[in-house]
A and B are shown apart, each in its own frame.
Chain A
Amino acid sequence: MIGFDLIAPHLPVLTVVVPLIAGFLTPIIGWIDRRLPWYWVVLAMFVVLLIAGNNLVTVINSGTIQYKLGGWDPPFGIEYVIDLLNGFVCLIIAFIAFMVSIYSKESVKKEVPGKTTPFYAVFLLLITGLMGMTITGDIFNFYVFLEISSLTAYALIAMGDRGDGVVASFNYLIMGTVAASFILLGIGYLYAVTGTLNMADMQNILPGVYESKVVLAALAFFMVGFSIKVGLFPLHSWLPDAYTHAPSTASALIAGLMTKVGAYAMIRFMFGVFTPDFVINTTQMTNILAWAAALAIIVGSVLAIAQSDIKRMLAYSSISQIGYILLGVGLANMIGMEGGLLHLLNHALMKCALFLVAGAIFYKTGIRNLYQFKGLGKKMPVTTTVFLIAALSMIGVPGTVGFTSKWYLALGSVDAGQWIFVFVILLSSLLNIVYFWRIFDNIWFGHPHEIENIKRDEAPLTMLVPMVILAVLCVFFGFFAYYPVHYVIEPLSEALLGLGGVLSR
């Protein structure tokens, strides 16, 4: 395998380069034949998935990977660093993107007719942006990828529902730009104080200048900026429209990944640029975050109950679920952190599955109003079963992924002595039951006499396969959460909280 030996040292950067180049080649591929871009994207995503998997295995076995872009030594050159945290997140991105790319075939053809080639080109660039944000060890390079991912997301959303999609995209653009400006200002402040852009370098220098008000301001700016990006209540207003009006494929991708990467960035900046002691004890930033997250959990769930459009309901549910992740991080103890990180994976699986189901139902019936789902259980048994499993996961029924994160978060709250957060988590799972169960009732307990004549009419195989895989994983990781927890999340939480082990270097 001479070829592989040649490539092997460059695998880290290839996670970004492969989708980037593939994205730019897509118009040419599409020009040859309009049917080809789908195969092209699936191929590219499969390659990225293999590379991301390989990267994580390497990190688990032999520690952090550092890659110097162009051979320039940090802190002057740009450095890509893969540790457990972003190796884990990269794998989630690659996997979800692969699933969504398979799914996209029919859905894109129907929802963005005539624009499939640009759709796939932008799709690949979005993945480039997300991968780049995750993998880079350079704070300004991070900002560049943040903008790539944001701009491509605006484009994807604007391709959605005629009229509404553009408005939603524009709202997101405004909010996203505000967020990006906050983040850029924060980066500028830190650069002014430390004179470096390398994250690890910055983390070494910063403790010396913690007294400076500029550093405090930078932290605040980052937190606000990322809160907008993840849609943390009350900065969530862009999110429901964007998720609702985007094409189904884009919704699944954006809902499954964008906010996850935002949450990742928040964690990275708090614990990988600043130091744990500073964000936990000195500034109490984690504490503030936990309370904001708790509020988001409740408000998101309550607002979800009020929705009748399934995608909008899922969007509000995302607002609540992001709260779970940030609550875990905000608890700032081992178990809470484990819960938050585990929920990164869990929520990506469940929410992606749910959005894919919503897309499949829309594809087959054109219905998004959940009160019109009567009889769907008979018409689309596989799709609705996937919905059942993913929704039960969201509720947190034991035996599904939702339970494992709920368990850790509740236990973490008790360990932190924050009983109120336990109630928040438990109340939220009750609220989840309320808004998911009415859909179950509509799907399976509609009008028995009217639905007798309904024929089975399932979504196409390219849609079913990724949905079923995600549902199976929801159950699989419900029973076998030991593996991600033991190999990735436990050592990672220790490193993040500065309790032993090292995050990078």
Chain B
Amino acid sequence: MVTEINSITPLLAVLVSMIAAVLILASGKYPNLREGWTFVAAFIKFGLVISMLPLILKGDVITYTVVEMLPDIPIAFKVDAFGILFAITSSFLWIFVTSYSIGYMRSLNEHAQTRYFFCFAIALSSAVGIAFSANLVTLFLFYELLTISTYPLVAHNETPEAISSGRKYLTYLMIAGVSLLFAIVVVYHYTGTTEFSFSGIAGMDAIPQTTLVILFVTFMIGCAKAAFMPLHAWLPAAMVAPTPVSALLHAVAVVKAGVFTALRVILYVFGVDLMQDSGIWLYMAYFVSITIILASIYALMQDNLKKRLAYSTVSQLSYIVLGAVLITPHGLTGGMLHIPYHAFMKITLFMCAGALIVTAQKENISEMKGIARQMPITMIAFTVGALGMIGMPPVGGYVTKWFLLLGAAELHSMILIAVLLVSAVLNAAYFFPVIYVAFFKKPDHELKYKEAPLTMLIPLVVTAIISIVIGIWPDAPGMFLDIVEIAVANVTGGGI
């Protein structure tokens, strides 16, 4: 039996970076103090999130109602295993990206750094807010806040290109927001509530089949942050942002918020049973399979490293949704587990790409001949991340692929198994050339050893090491697999 514990901790965890944002704004004239606030907030935030973990591991949930916004529409938090999984991932990585940001922004002598750190803090609040939302309206509140707070980060350069990318970003995500709102209104109309429930919102099964399908589609358009294939174009465009933004927000916080929302909708609004009975799961599985394959092919064609990574993200995000719509416990485990696993590996890759920009001023793969001689540590970390993406042991990626394959095999779906395998091959096809060029091609002229500043190097080495640790020892007590197992047990109503 799940016990509900009332505690203000989730609200504090969300608010801490908002308060930090205000302090950042107030101390804009003193860069060290300003970044100090970011660090302090990052540590406190992670501390608050992790302090809730023991209760969650016991199988309890933590609830807190902030305010009743409208009659029957509360702004409320509910921390469950799935929510804390996302919250831990984002708040933990914020610590590293803060350090990395300082190195990156100062090395490039960027303008408007106060605005940058301010928006970053707000975005983190929103991400954790999404993770802890107890109902769709609260989730929508933070979902929109995340869009708005990340816009200045995408348009950071203020060049016409940055502004137009920002506009594209905004257009996609705001249309998504409107679509999501529509879907929420419809859910409320039929069921009289928007609160997530482990078995799906009661009363959803009374909705006529056609409406249900339309509702599901509008929900998925609403989850455009997850970059499903026809709605993915904002993500490569957003790569114009400074690299730490691409690393934390467009590989972790924003895109995972989209995937997280999709999973919340699939599992906690529609519910496992309804997904199965209505047959929607199969169509969704095929739909995201297309994204998995197509995005990998797109990635092959990119010469810009960050764009290649962006398309890789598009493809990997759909793994997560695929896992969720497989509905089997193994599939669910694979999908949910991919949220932190992909986060660690992809953030490593992005931080490497950023280090290359700062130290070697290189953005395109074709210019990176022999770059490993100049930046061996960075490129080794990159290789670790890439191997994880491909799914090679001992780096973490193979664990989630294993679960996903098991899930697909349980359904006896040759097509889905094939999709996963082909995608692994494609992953190899777009990552190995980078490694090959960097390590084995002769540089055009002699390169001296010169690594990125330590504030950047340490974070990317640490995340690379963690990527390996979670691969070697995925079932360490209290680690991600434990949390995921509880989350899966919650939605399937039993153990694995």
Q: Which residues of B contact A465 (CB under 8 A)?
A: none
Contact status B71-A490, CB under 8 Å: yes
The size of the chain A interface, using a CB distance under 8 A, is: 32
Contact status A430-B186, CB under 8 Å: no
Contact status A479-B67, CB under 8 Å: yes
**Majority-rule SS of B interface residues:** helix
Fill in one digit per residue for A417-456: 1 if any B CB lies within 8 Å of its CB, else 0: 0000010001001100100010001001111100000000
Q: Which residues of A contact B140 (CB under 8 A)?
A: 398
Q: Which residues of A contact B71 (CB under 8 A)?
A: 482, 485-486, 490
Given contacts A398-B137, A479-B69, is CB(A407)–CB(B174) below 8 Å?
A: no
Of all chain B residues, the one with the shortest Cβ separation from A486 is B71
Contact status B148-A410, CB under 8 Å: no
Of all chain B residues, the one with the shortest Cβ separation from A433 is B174
Of all chain A residues, the one with the shortest Cβ separation from B112 is A448
B145 at the A interface (CB under 8 A): yes
A277 at the B interface (CB under 8 A): no
Contact status A404-B70, CB under 8 Å: yes
Contact status A481-B70, CB under 8 Å: yes
Given contacts A430-B174, A444-B152, A479-B67, is CB(A407)–CB(B73) below 8 Å?
A: yes
B167, B174, B188: which has the most chain A beta carbons within 10 Å? Answer: B174
Of all chain B residues, the one with the shortest Cβ separation from A403 is B141
Of all chain A residues, the one with the shortest Cβ separation from B137 is A398
B189 at the A interface (CB under 8 A): yes
Which single member of B158, B170, B182 contacts A437 (CB below 8 Å)?
A: B170
Chain B's interface size range is 20 to 34
Q: Once bound together, how far apart are the Cα atoms of A406 and B73, in whole Å?
A: 14
Contact status A410-B182, CB under 8 Å: yes
Contact status A482-B152, CB under 8 Å: no
Q: Which residues of B contact A399 (CB under 8 A)?
A: 141, 145
B55 at the A interface (CB under 8 A): no
B111 at the A interface (CB under 8 A): yes
Q: Once bound together, how far apart are the Cα atoms of A408 and B71, in whole Å?
A: 11
Q: Which residues of A contact B111 (CB under 8 A)?
A: 448
Q: Once bound together, how far apart are the Cα atoms of A426 and B140, in whole Å?
A: 15
Which single member of A397, A410, A480 contacts B185 (CB below 8 Å)?
A: A410
A471 at the B interface (CB under 8 A): no
Contact status B181-A410, CB under 8 Å: yes
Q: Which residues of A contact B67 (CB under 8 A)?
A: 479-480, 482
A296 at the B interface (CB under 8 A): no
Q: Which residues of A contact B68 (CB under 8 A)?
A: 482
CB distance from A333 to the nearest CB of B (A): 12
Q: Once bound together, how far apart are the Cα atoms of A15 and B182, in whole Å?
A: 42
Q: Which residues of A contact B145 (CB under 8 A)?
A: 397-399
**Majority-rule SS of A interface residues:** helix
Which single member of B69, B166, B188 contacts A411 (CB below 8 Å)?
A: B188
A495 at the B interface (CB under 8 A): no
Q: Once bound together, how far apart are the Cα atoms of A397 and B122, in whole Å?
A: 15
Fill in one digit per residue for A454-495: 1 if any B CB lies within 8 Å of its CB, else 0: 000000000000000000000000111110011000100000
Of all chain A residues, the one with the shortest Cβ separation from B66 is A479
B148, B170, B185: which has the most chain A beta carbons within 10 Å? Answer: B185
Fill in one digit per residue for B186-215: 1 if any A CB lies within 8 Å of its CB, else 0: 101100000000000000000000000000
B70, B140, B144, B155: which has the most chain A beta carbons within 10 Å? Answer: B70
Chain B residues 78 to 127 lying within 8 A of chain A, measured CB to CB, are 111-112, 115
Given contacts A398-B144, A481-B70, A482-B69, is CB(A414)–CB(B178) below 8 Å?
A: no
B422 at the A interface (CB under 8 A): no
Of all chain A residues, the one with the shortest Cβ separation from B139 is A398
Chain A residues 149 to 202 lying within 8 A of chain B, measured CB to CB, are none
CB distance from A417 to the nearest CB of B (A): 10
Contact status B182-A422, CB under 8 Å: yes
Which single member of A426, A480, A485 contacts B181 (CB below 8 Å)?
A: A426
Contact status A422-B70, CB under 8 Å: no
Q: Which residues of B contact A480 (CB under 8 A)?
A: 67, 69
A422, A430, A482: which has the most chain B beta carbons within 10 Å? Answer: A482
Q: Which residues of B contact A411 (CB under 8 A)?
A: 185, 188-189
CB distance from B282 to the nearest CB of A (A): 28
Q: Which residues of A contact B189 (CB under 8 A)?
A: 411, 414-415
Q: Which residues of B contact A407 (CB under 8 A)?
A: 70, 73, 137, 181, 185
Q: Once bound together, how far apart are the Cα atoms of A415 and B69, in whole Å?
A: 20
Q: Which residues of B contact A485 (CB under 8 A)?
A: 70-71
Q: Which residues of A contact B70 (CB under 8 A)?
A: 404, 407-408, 481-482, 485
A392 at the B interface (CB under 8 A): yes
Q: Once bound together, how far apart are the Cα atoms of A480 and B70, in whole Å?
A: 7
B409 at the A interface (CB under 8 A): no
CB distance from B153 to the nearest CB of A (A): 12
B75 at the A interface (CB under 8 A): yes
Q: Which residues of A contact B188 (CB under 8 A)?
A: 411
Of all chain B residues, the one with the shortest Cβ separation from A410 is B185
B425 at the A interface (CB under 8 A): no
Contact status A426-B144, CB under 8 Å: no
B415 at the A interface (CB under 8 A): no
Q: Once bound together, how far apart are the Cα atoms of A441 and B181, in whole Å?
A: 25
CB distance from B163 to the nearest CB of A (A): 6
B175 at the A interface (CB under 8 A): yes
Of all chain B residues, the one with the shortest Cβ separation from A397 is B144
Contact status B186-A414, CB under 8 Å: yes
Q: Which residues of B contact A404 (CB under 8 A)?
A: 69-70
Q: Once bound together, how far apart are the Cα atoms of A406 and B140, in whole Å?
A: 13
Contact status B185-A422, CB under 8 Å: yes
CB distance from B221 to the nearest CB of A (A): 12
Given contacts A404-B70, A410-B181, is CB(A445)–CB(B170) below 8 Å?
A: no
CB distance from B268 to the nearest CB of A (A): 19
Contact status B182-A426, CB under 8 Å: yes
Which single member of A430, A433, A481, A490 contacts B69 (CB below 8 Å)?
A: A481
CB distance from B491 to the nearest CB of A (A): 26
Q: Which residues of B contact A408 (CB under 8 A)?
A: 70
CB distance from A185 to the nearest CB of B (A): 41
Contact status A448-B158, CB under 8 Å: yes
Given contacts A414-B186, A480-B69, is CB(A430)–CB(B175) below 8 Å?
A: yes
Q: Which residues of B contact A410 (CB under 8 A)?
A: 181-182, 185
Q: Once bound together, how far apart are the Cα atoms of A392 and B174, in whole Å?
A: 12
Contact status A414-B75, CB under 8 Å: no
CB distance from A135 to the nearest CB of B (A): 28
Q: Which residues of A contact B155 (CB under 8 A)?
A: 441, 445
Q: Which residues of B contact A446 (CB under 8 A)?
A: 158
Fill in one digit per residue for B252-288: 1 if any A CB lies within 8 Å of its CB, else 0: 0000000000000000000000000000000000000
Given contacts A411-B188, A430-B175, is CB(A445)–CB(B158) below 8 Å?
A: yes
Q: Which residues of B contact A430 (CB under 8 A)?
A: 174-175, 178
Q: Once bound together, how far apart are the Cα atoms of A411 and B188, in whole Å?
A: 8
Of all chain A residues, the one with the shortest Cβ separation from B115 is A444
Contact status B185-A433, CB under 8 Å: no
Q: Once bound together, how far apart are the Cα atoms of A411 and B183, in whole Å?
A: 11
Q: Which residues of A contact B141 (CB under 8 A)?
A: 398-399
Fill in one digit per residue for B308-319: 1 if any A CB lies within 8 Å of its CB, else 0: 000000000000
Fill in one digit per residue for B53-82: 1 if any A CB lies within 8 Å of its CB, else 0: 000000000000001111101010000000
Q: Once bound together, how far apart are the Cα atoms of A407 and B185, in whole Å?
A: 7
Of all chain A residues, the one with the shortest Cβ separation from B155 is A445
10 A-B pairs with the lowest CB-CB distances in the bound complex, closest first: A398-B141, A426-B178, A414-B189, A410-B185, A482-B68, A445-B158, A448-B158, A397-B144, A481-B70, A411-B185
List 29 interface pairs A-B (beta carbons < 8 Å), by A numbering: A397-B145, A398-B140, A398-B141, A398-B144, A399-B145, A404-B70, A406-B181, A407-B185, A408-B70, A411-B185, A414-B189, A426-B178, A429-B178, A433-B174, A437-B167, A444-B152, A445-B152, A445-B158, A445-B163, A445-B166, A478-B69, A479-B67, A479-B69, A481-B69, A481-B70, A482-B69, A482-B70, A485-B70, A490-B71
Q: Please name 18 further chain A to chain B contacts, defined as beta carbons within 8 Å, in addition to the given A445-B158, A480-B67, sorted by A numbering.
A: A398-B140, A399-B145, A404-B69, A407-B70, A407-B137, A407-B185, A411-B189, A415-B189, A422-B185, A426-B178, A441-B166, A445-B163, A448-B112, A478-B69, A479-B75, A480-B69, A482-B70, A486-B71
